[in-house]
Amino acid sequence: MVTFVDRVTLHLRAGKGGNGCVSVRREKFKPLAGPDGGNGGNGGEIVLVADPQVTTLLSYHHSPHRTAGNGGFGMGDLRQGAAGEDIELPVPLGTVVKDPDGSVIADLVEPGMRLVVAPGGQGGLGNAALSSPKRKAPGFALLGTPGWEGDVVLELKTVADVALVGFPSAGKSSLIAAVSAARPKIADYPFTTLHPNLGVVEAGDIRFTIADVPGLIEGASEGRGLGLEFLRHVERCTALVHVLDCATLDPGRDPLSDLDVILAELAAYPVPEGQVPLVDRPQLIALNKVDVPEARELADLVRPDLEARGFRVFEISAVARDGLRELTFALGGIIAEHRAEIAARPPAERIVIRPQGSERDFVVKVEGGTYGNIYRIIGAKPERWVAQTDFQNDEAVGFLADRLERLGVEDELYRSGAQPGSTVVIGAGDGVVFDWQPSLTSAAELMAAPRGTDPRLDQGGRRTTSQRRERYHERMDAKAAARAELETERLARTADDEVDGGGR
């Protein structure tokens, strides 16, 4: 049965924004009192929160699919749509958030840190918000945009000051149980510990956390066994304690060979950029199980060799609680020195978030096609505007054309070589396909037309009275010209006949 999970993939879908409303206020004696369509509500977002009370990602292992609430639709009488319900997902301290490609998005190491991992969609504006002195009563509203949808990977790296490392059954769980209030599972068979255990240790006025990392074996840094999952929890530790079993009965093993294997695995494990390699961090040696007479003799034998290699060595017995005070106070000194060094560092540079739109909002890419070039527009604003447009409403389409023109899309298409009738795609993939007509760039606000229509998109509407009169005069002129031509031909034939008769 799974009781500890330190890596999961979440499938997230934020809420969709609600659509805006098209409405015109009607009162007694005021049949058309102006637009009053409300805005749609924003979609709910999904937020990760670093919670010290959470120690595992088990709940997300069983239910990885999470969906936030959708925003409500706007309504008449300036009633705004309700915002979608947000979802907060508590995660343990030390959770690293990555995208499916492995790029780090955020590292949640402080209690209360929040990350909006899936932003909700934007609610559409109603026609009341779209009205202006030139467009007094819009016959359209904007649609809500879809929320973010995708996968994120959560990877837990234990946050502790000290890590106990060593071979399986070296006594690490017994040691953390002896020096702290932690109560890990302890048994006399290898790989009893399947996940890190945390305990709090007090050494004088210094309090620090200690992690019991599951046993390592040779080849752990290459993924043998569960080595990579175990070594991940050592990355954030300030100091390491090598717990060496002096009472092992396995042939070919002794404290020195065990230490060499563990050091080789720690050296081969790559740490993130900017962190101190594992083998370069402060390290202590704990020769465990010296309550056994043969183990005491072996500890006395190997201690000079270990000290000659530069290690501080402590002979301990987790069962008899011998040597634990000296070990914990030595660790407390290392932790206090490290904390003082961190406090003396200059404060980290503040993160400055630049306003969106400070750079260019879109690009035009020219792609070859079977029937000529395709001009693809990529940018957050154009793609969002297309998602907000109701293409069943001509006035909404004209409004989109005006927004694109003000953004400079028309000029950029001209510079890219587009001609009237060229194929233009907005967005990646299939996107939204248009046959580009530059004539749409004229100001729609100055055109008088019924709500919901745009005369620039009227391809076959009724002709006006002046157009019919002009067409009538053209037909009359054409008929008069034809009669005049026939009369000229008749007179010419008559003259020819008279000349022929006179000659006879």
**So what's the pLDDT on residue 40?**
96
**88-105 tens-digit pLDDT:** 999 988 888 999 998 889
The pLDDT, as a whole number, for residue 351 is: 66
Q: Which pLDDT band, with edges at 50, 70 and 90, does 502 fall under?
A: low
Instruction: For residue 34, give the H/E element and its range.
Output: none
What are the residue ranges spanned by the domains of the chain?
1-156, 162-344, 363-457, 462-492
For the annotated binding site, the residues are 166-173, 191-195, 212-215, 288-291, 317-319
Q: Which CATH architecture has domain 363-457?
A: 2-Layer Sandwich (3.30)
Name the binding residues for Mg(2+).
173, 193
Residue 86 or residue 165, greater confidence: 86
Residues above pLDDT 70, as percent of the chain: 83
**This prediction's pTM:** 0.70
What homologous superfamily is domain 1-156 in, according to CATH?
A: GTP1/OBG domain (2.70.210.12)
DSSP 285-327: EEEE-TTSHHHHHHHHHHHHHHHHTT-EEEE-BTTTTBSHHHH
Q: How confident is the model at residue 461 (pLDDT cuts 50, 70, 90)?
A: low
| Cα separation, 386 vs 397, whole angstroms | 9
Is the CATH number of domain 162-344 3.40.50.300? yes
Point out the annotated binding site for GTP: 166-173, 191-195, 212-215, 288-291, 317-319
Residue 498 has pLDDT above 60, yes or no: yes
Q: At residue 430, what is the residue type?
A: D
CB 452 within 8 A of CB 140: yes
Whole-angstrom distance, CA of residue 368 vs CA of residue 374: 6
Poorest-pLDDT segment among 58-67, 218-227, 417-426: 218-227
The residue with greater pLDDT, 83 or 273, is 83
Decide the pairing of beta strands 206-212 and 197-203.
antiparallel
Side-chain-side CA neighbours of residue 155 (13 Å) = 19
Contact 7, 57 (CB under 8 A): yes
